[in-house]
């Protein structure tokens, strides 16, 4: 396995592990939103929703699978300002590959609740799944502005820019995140990957060394071997 592939794999695994730290109904990541609809989306209390809405959502999820969508649609009509109902309908639309419906529902969810991390993430996923990368980039940038304290959106934005070969843009986004979260090892792995792809070995090695988890040790050894050649 080449060092380049190793870097990509490690960065992907780190990002995946980080995604698992989301809580409640914000547990929508690139991996779980695309799963088969074998079980209902997870539920957790939405602090912005009334108790009545919360109970109605739980009842809808308990009606899985046949009655869930129908009940959630009724709930969304009854409570048109429920971001939670819109988000869950968007999740279910993704699982059914009804992407236009998913975009409509998730866009409404983030409009109602700009702090809804799961809705932003799922909306970006929809656009990526449709290969609409410009739209996905715009969504992640909007998510960063709406939730500046959440580094996950910069990570996703950086991943997509790296994938597209837009390394300078990715570098700028991740460096800005490094200023906000200098102790987050994921930031330095991501920044190291950006520099690595540009063959900026010294900067890549420096970034990997800032990751005190040691995840970049193999990349550091490879970079050092290149420097000796």
Query: Does residue 160 lie within any of the structural domains?
Result: yes
Q: Is 213 helix (H, G, I), strand (E, B) or coil?
A: coil
Q: How far is Cα 24 from Cα 83, in angstroms, rounded to an integer?
A: 13
Contact residues for 118 (Cβ-Cβ < 8 A; gap 6+): 22, 24, 25, 26, 27, 28, 87
Query: Does residue 176 lie within any of the structural domains?
Result: yes
**Helix 117-129 / helix 99-112 crossing angle, nearest 10 deg:** 150
Residue 148 pLDDT > 60: yes
Query: Does residue 5 lie within any of the structural domains?
Result: no
Query: Does residue 197 lie within any of the structural domains?
Result: no
Span of 35-39, 91-95, 120-124 with lowest mean pLDDT: 35-39
Looking at every residue in the chain, the average pLDDT score rounds to: 79
Q: Measured over all CA atoms, what is the biggest interatomic distance in the chain, rounded to whole angstroms? A: 68
pLDDT in tens, 189-229: 889 989 999 989 999 999 988 877 877 677 777 777 665 55
Residue 121 pLDDT > 90: yes
Query: Does residue 196 lie within any of the structural domains?
Result: no
CATH number at residue 104: 1.25.40.10
Query: Does residue 163 lie within any of the structural domains?
Result: yes
Rg value, the chain, Cα: 20
- The total of structural domains in the chain comes to 1
Report DSSP letters for 181-193, one per residue: -TT-HHHHHHHHH
Q: According to the model, what pLDDT value does residue 33 have?
A: 43
| Residue span of the structural domain in which 29 resides | 24-184
Query: Does residue 212 lie within any of the structural domains?
Result: no
Contact (CB, 8 A) for 184 and 203:
no
Q: How much is the pTM?
A: 0.71
Query: Does residue 174 lie within any of the structural domains?
Result: yes
Stretch 1-21: mean pLDDT: 39
The alpha-helical segments, DSSP class H, found in 147-200 are 152-163, 167-180, 185-197
pLDDT in tens, 33-88: 444 456 777 776 776 677 888 888 888 888 887 788 899 999 999 999 999 999 99
With b meaning 16 or more CB within 10 Å and e meaning fewer, what string describes 176-215? Answer: ebbeeeeebbbbbbbbbbbbbbeebbebbbbbbbbbeeeb
Query: What percent of the chain stands above pLDDT 70?
Result: 78
């Amino acid at each position: 396995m080449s060092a380049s592939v190793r870097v990509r794999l490690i960065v992907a695994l780190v990002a995946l592990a980080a995604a698992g730290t989301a809580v409640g109904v914000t547990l929508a990541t690139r991996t779980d939103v695309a799963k088969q609809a074998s079980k209902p989306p997870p539920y957790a209390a939405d602090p912005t929703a009334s108790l009545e809405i919360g109970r109605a959502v739980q009842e809808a999820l308990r009606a899985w699978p046949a009655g869930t969508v129908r009940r959630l649609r009724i709930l969304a009509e009854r409570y048109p300002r429920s971001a939670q109902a819109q988000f869950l309908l968007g999740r279910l639309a993704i699982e059914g590959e009804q992407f236009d419906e998913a975009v409509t529902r998730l866009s409404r969810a983030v409009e109602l609740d700009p702090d809804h991390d799961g809705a932003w993430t799922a909306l970006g996923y929809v656009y990526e799944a449709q290969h609409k990368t410009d739209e996905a980039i715009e969504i992640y940038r909007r998510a960063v502005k709406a939730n500046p304290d959440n580094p996950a959106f910069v990570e996703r934005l950086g991943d997509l820019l790296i994938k597209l070969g837009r390394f300078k843009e990715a570098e700028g986004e991740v460096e800005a995140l490094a200023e906000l979260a200098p102790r987050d090892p994921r930031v330095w792995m991501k920044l190291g990957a950006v520099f690595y792809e540009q063959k900026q070995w010294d900067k890549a090695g420096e970034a990997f060394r800032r990751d005190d988890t040691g995840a970049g040790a193999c990349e550091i050894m490879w970079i050092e071997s290149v420097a000796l050649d």
